Amino acid sequence: MEWRVGPSRTHFFLYTPPLDNKDAVQMGNLRTYLRMARHAEDRVRGALRLNDSQSKLERDAQEFWTRQPKQQSSFWWHLRGSDPFVDDQLWLDIGKKHVNMYIDAARMVGFERPVETIVDWGCGGGANAIHFGAECKTLYGIDVSQDALDESVKQMQATQPQCNYVPIKIDVPDPESVLGKIPAGIDMFYCLYVWEVFPSQAYGQRILEIARKLLKPGGLGYVQIKYEKDVWTRSRRWGYTRGVANMTRYRVDQFWELIQAAGLQPRHLVLIPKPHEVPDFDYAYYFFQKPMDA
């Protein structure tokens, strides 16, 4: 199924999941009930002002991502060869899918590739970097986990030795520190399988602002978020370590408008309700550009 909406060269796609058996329908119902329960709890906490402060959420996030990843929990930063990725093809599919989506989107919006410089925000164990390394001369891998960065260096050295890979460690409360470490004027910025673990929507807005500052005019941004399907928009804003994979979500139209609010031009949107490589749902991918006159 495919829609095209908005001005010319602005695109909207929906990939529908197969829901043709009883189990899938039952799983869908269960997920809906759980989501409603989560919503109710979030609203009660919001009404009673039981949310965590912004600084507590950021501190908890840093603490969470600094933990030594155990083999079974290494899913959090997508460690190659760990239990969730005993099937190496699944791990390879993450970056392969993402680079293919980038190639399609670049063609649609008229963005020339390969490029000189790319930023990978939240690079984890390098699942995307090893594919995007073939798309640029210098790739900056940004992460809040030193273990993840070390692993990404290992993967890059093994697969993309010709690419100048620059790992940069940041702390959750101070993402702006990268602005002093990466020269402005980069060609492409991507952030995949990370935005939903940001502490809040306000934090997400800071990252969009950083992307705008880093990109050159005409540069391309590529961000995946998890979208919200219910009538109200929810961001969890409490208990970071209990709900890390769903901390920050948006309505599909809302994130489009937040990109605009950050002074960037949304160009293309892809929805994937059920990605095959990870056990998760409701992924929206946005492509946007920094205006030429910015």
Ligand X SMILES: C[S@@+](CC[C@H](N)C(=O)[O-])C[C@H]1O[C@@H](n2cnc3c(N)ncnc32)[C@H](O)[C@@H]1O
Only one of the segments 72-80, 110-118, 263-271, 282-290 lies at the binding site for ligand X (rule: CB under 6 A); that segment is 72-80
* Shortest separation between residue 44's beta carbon and ligand X, angstroms: 27
x/- track of binding to ligand X for residues 154-173 (CB under 6 A): ------------------x-
- Number of Cβ atoms within 10 Å of the Cβ of 270: 18
Q: Pick out residues in 24-63 that bind ligand X (CB under 6 A).
A: 61
Q: Tokens for 173, please give them.
A: 């409360």
Pick from 122, 133, 266, 275 the residue near ligand X by CB under 6 A: 122
Q: Which of 52, 60, 69, 76 binds ligand X (CB under 6 A)?
A: 76
Tell me which H or E stretch contains 270. Answer: strand 265-272
240 binds ligand X (CB under 6 A): no
How far, rounded to the nearest angstrom, does the alpha carbon of residue 15 sit from its chain's CA centroid? Answer: 18
226 counts as binding ligand X under rule CB under 6 A: no
Separation of alpha carbons 133 and 70, rounded Å: 27
Single out the residue of 118, 130, 182, 192 in contact with ligand X (rule: CB under 6 A): 192
Cβ closest to ligand X, residue 99 vs residue 220: 99
Say if CB 167 and CB 120 are below 8 A apart: no
Q: What share of the chain is helix, strand, coil (3-state, %, to 5)?
A: 45, 20, 35
Q: Which is nearer to ligand X, 117 or 128 (CB)?
A: 128
Among 105, 115, 127, 225, binds ligand X (CB under 6 A): 127
How many residues make up the chain in this entry? Answer: 294
Q: What is the CA radius of gyration of the chain?
A: 19
Of 5, 89, 29, nearest to 271 by C-alpha is: 5
Is beta strand 117-121 parallel, antiparallel or unpaired with respect to 186-191?
A: parallel
The residue of the chain with the least Cβ separation from ligand X equals 124
254 DSSP assignment: H
Segment contacting ligand X by CB under 6 A, of 30-38, 49-57, 70-78, 268-276: 70-78
Region of 108-116, 142-150, 155-163, 177-185 interacting with ligand X (CB under 6 A): 142-150
Cβ atoms of 135 and 165 closer than 8 Å:
no
The residues binding ligand X (CB under 6 A) are 61, 65, 76-78, 94, 121-124, 127-128, 142-145, 148, 172, 175, 192-194, 197-198
